[in-house]
A and B are shown apart, each in its own frame.
Chain A
Amino acid sequence: MVEWTDAEKSTISAVWGKVDINEVGPLALGRVLIVYPWTQRYFGSFGDVSTPAAIMGNPKVAAHGKIVCGALDKAVKNMGNILATYKSLSETHANKLFVDPDNFRVLADVLTIVIAAKFGASFTPEIQATWQKFMKVVVAAMGSRYYIGILEYQQAPEICLANAAFSH
């Protein structure tokens, strides 16, 4: 299982406590759709995403950004058990939504950049390191149910978390 020190837990809670989901969620999802335009493939029903202005002004993008960010709240409140917390979300993304799990890492990186822009210098290298560890665990948990056909993941889900920790 993932080990969190007390300092890491309080850093993550402190960062999350200062994030306004209703602001940061739309900013992060909008930025993903602009910077990585192929991600728009998942949002065909969202209407006009043809320009950066259209994306940032699109109410469905904003609403979905809030949902996605809101789901992170569950991870912050269940840090000792993120893998179990995201089991059904992972299954939904794998089996119903057919989202490429690489997108979770992309969103995590863009979210980190949006949070950095908001926090400024107070988002120190040490805080960034702890936040990115949290992001890595969340990303691995979201990808965990994609690999259930592979024996090692059935026997020890922690392995998929450990392996994910070594990729960017």
Chain B
Amino acid sequence: MSLTAKDKSVVKAFWGKVSGKADVVGAEALGRMLTAYPQTKTYFSHWADLSPGSDPVKKHGSTIMGAIGNAVGVIDDLVGGLSALSDLHAFKLRVDPGNFKILSHNILVTLAIHFPRDFTPEVHIAVDKFLAALSAALADKYR
């Protein structure tokens, strides 16, 4: 389901509003994922504290949202732009790609909470498609 020109412009416009709160959104989405989908905790067994709002969750949430923000910048070539991150996830982290969908859902929940008026159905479909395309690019090198 490739991104149309309209999808890209909707995502860029919405991300302009999100970027000021990116750290908060990232931390919260990660915390929600770890709480509502406990099987995802297996990837973070090296953290002392996996609760929402903990230091490692906040720091890593910020890292993730930063990367997603960068992906908005390379939205015309996600596979190329995310190539190094795909290598990382494929060969070092080896995160099962099914989890990208789970994190995406929690990002959508968090966006709905923080931007209830801006996260319209039209924005929802564009962001959902973008996160799906991003997830596919992230999984590109897996095999």
Contacts and interface: CB of A to CB of B under 8 A. Distances in A.
Contact of B108 (A30, A113, A119): A113
Interface residues of A, number: 25
Interface string B9-52: 00000000000000000001001101111000000000000001
Interface stretch (A63-71, A121-129, A147-155): A121-129
Nearest to A37: B125
Interface stretch (B59-67, B77-85, B111-119): B111-119
A114 interface: yes
A120 B31 contact: no
Contacts of A30: 121
Contact of B32 (A34, A55, A114, A125): A125
Nearest to A35: B125
A18 interface: no
Interface in A96-128: 109, 112-114, 116-121, 123-126, 128
A56 B121 CA distance: 10
B52 A35 contact: no
Chain B's interface: helix, strand, loop or mixed, by majority? Answer: helix
Contacts of A129: 35-36
Chain A's interface: helix, strand, loop or mixed, by majority? Answer: helix
Contacts of B108: 113
Nearest to A132: B36
A113 B35 contact: no
In the complex, the 3 A-B pairs of residues with the closest C-beta atoms, listed nearest first: A125-B35, A117-B112, A129-B36
Interface of A: 30-31, 34-35, 52, 55-56, 109, 112-114, 116-121, 123-126, 128-129, 132, 168
18 contacts: A30-B121, A31-B121, A34-B125, A35-B121, A35-B124, A35-B125, A52-B120, A55-B121, A56-B121, A109-B105, A113-B112, A114-B112, A117-B113, A125-B52, A128-B36, A129-B36, A168-B102, A168-B105
